[in-house]
Structure 1
Amino acid sequence: MHAPAPHPRKSFFLGMRLFLPVAISIASYGVVWGVLAGQAGLTPLEVVLMSGLVYAGASQFVAIDMWSPLSLPVASIVVATAVINLRMLLMTATLRPQFEHLPRWRALLAMFLVSDEVWAMTMAEHAKGGGGAAFMLGAGTLAWIGWVGSTLTGRMLGAVIDDPTAYGLDFAFTATFLALLLSMWKGRGDLVPWLAGGAIAIGVSMLVPGTWYIIAGGLGGSLLGAFLQHRMRDAA
């Protein structure tokens, strides 16, 4: 007999509570982006609008690296960020079963709050028998607030923190994803696709310019993992 599903409001606040440590890490590299945005010439309002509407950490770092107020390469920025965010198609597709009970338009709006960290925590909780749409929305809401607030803070503190690396804030991005990766560890069976994905990403980054290595590594590791899982089911 299955335990009754928790009330959506309870799941929402549970998602917020469990996501709080991750939100603190997000805020750390959000400050870094805000400092860089200030150095690139963005105003506080532009920082809030970009973080709130684009809401894509990795893409925003790439965009700010390409930012040139005198000759803004709009087309190049759009293409680069689109390539990086292609992974969201795969990630949101895996969340679809948890949103089937919602009207499509509400489910599509909810996908705006999906990020790497929110997706990883929602899937990890789902594997334990929890998760769900309300849980993801709770984690996603806190992530969005933390990202917008921290990038604005970084922009305002830009005159004080001129070099984020001096405070070790640049490592927060890497540390966050390492922690999420370990939280999703299920056993030695995960090691092969993880290593394969990493190797593919490294190889593509050396051979192909741009950020295609992100898509290649993610697709390669995911496809290998699916293939191995299918073989294990057939063997059983």
Structure 2
Amino acid sequence: MRRGARAALGLTLGLMPFGLVVGMTGDARGLSLLEILLMSGLVFAGTSQLVALELWADPAPILAASLACLVINLRMAPMGVALAPVFDRLHGIRLWGSLAVLVDNAFALTVAEMRAGRRDAGFLVGASLCMWCNWMVMCTIGHSFGAALRLPPGHPLFFASVAALMSILVPIWRGRSDLLPWLVAAVLALLVHGIGLGAPWPVLAGALGGAAAGAARDLLQAASRPAAR
């Protein structure tokens, strides 16, 4: 867990502005500090939280916001499957607790660990908890000083979270064999966005399409091995 926390420390710095934005958006929508902390602590998924907050109104559209979070977080399903070798020895609260704190960045770091031959769920939990603590602190600051910290849309600071997400692609890149699923994910996300469907559909389409392309590639590779012998 300590090794996972150390590995995640650099990424948490890039995610700080993202947490500030969620806190500020919650303040602008009229949520109290306790409400935004409960949301951030239990949901712990920045993109789906922002989508839900964009839908927020009075009275609160609980069903619509919950559905938006569900749809955009469906990308976690193929992530959990990909991490099956890490989770196969876990049961009960250890399994479900590890899955509860799974996020994109911790997933990428853990995949890099798996490819290095290490399969310790403690690494994932340590990385995720480090990010969770940072997330809660940044959401608190963003909410508490929302008016003072408010930045115009497109401010360069907001690119920090995008840069952090892009940086996690580096350790999981395996060469040209990864090009097909990555391209499928990118093209599908851009197409869905281009036809006018907003969040969460581009993210979901890219995640599921890329996962399907990667699974098909692995099946074809596995089927060709006996024939090669």
State the TM-score, normalized to the length of structure 2.
Answer: 0.90
Kindly indicate whether the alpha-carbon contact (under 8 Å) linking 2:78 and 2:211 is maintained by their aligned counterparts in 1.
no
* Contact 1:44-1:156 at 8 Å conserved across structures: yes
Contact 2:23 2:138 in 1 (8 A): yes
1:141: which partner in 2? 129
Output the amino acid matched with 1:53.
L
Deviates more, 1:224-233 or 1:136-145: 224-233
Aligned letter for 2:135?
A: W
- Aligned residue for 1:107? 95
Equivalent of 2:166 in 175, 178, 183: 178
Tell me if the contact between 1:84 and 1:215 (Cα under 8 Å) persists in the aligned partners. yes
Displacement after TM superposition at 1:32 (Å): 1.4
CA distance in 2, matches of 1:14, 1:179: 19
Structure 1 range deviating more: 181-190 or 203-212: 203-212
Indicate whether 1:226 and 2:190 are aligned: no
Aligned to 1:160: 148
> 1:26 is matched by which residue type in structure 2?
L
**Counterpart for residue 6 of structure 1:** none
User: Unaligned 5+ residue runs, structure 2?
Assistant: none
- Superposed, 1:39-54 pairs within 5 Å as 39-54=28-43
Q: Percent identity?
A: 35
> Runs of at least 4 residues of structure 1 off by over 6 A?
none
Q: Which moved more, 1:202-211 or 1:79-88?
A: 202-211
Q: Aligned residue for 1:84?
A: 72
SS of equivalent residue, structure 1 residue 114:
coil
**Cα deviations across residues 132-176 of structure 1 (Å, max 9, x unaligned)?**
211011101101101111111111121211216475232122111
In the superposition, the TM-score normalised over structure 1's length comes to 0.88
Q: CA deviation at 1:183?
A: 2.2
The answer to whether the 8 Å contact 1:32/1:169 transfers is: no
Q: 1:214 aligns with which of 199, 203, 206?
A: 203
Contact 1:124 1:184 (C-alpha < 8 Å) held by counterparts: yes
Tell me the equivalent position of 1:203: 191
Aligned-pair CA distance for 1:101: 2.2
Tell me how far 1:208 sits from its aligned partner: 6.5
Select 1:73's aligned residue among 55, 61, 64: 61
Aligned residue-pair number: 224
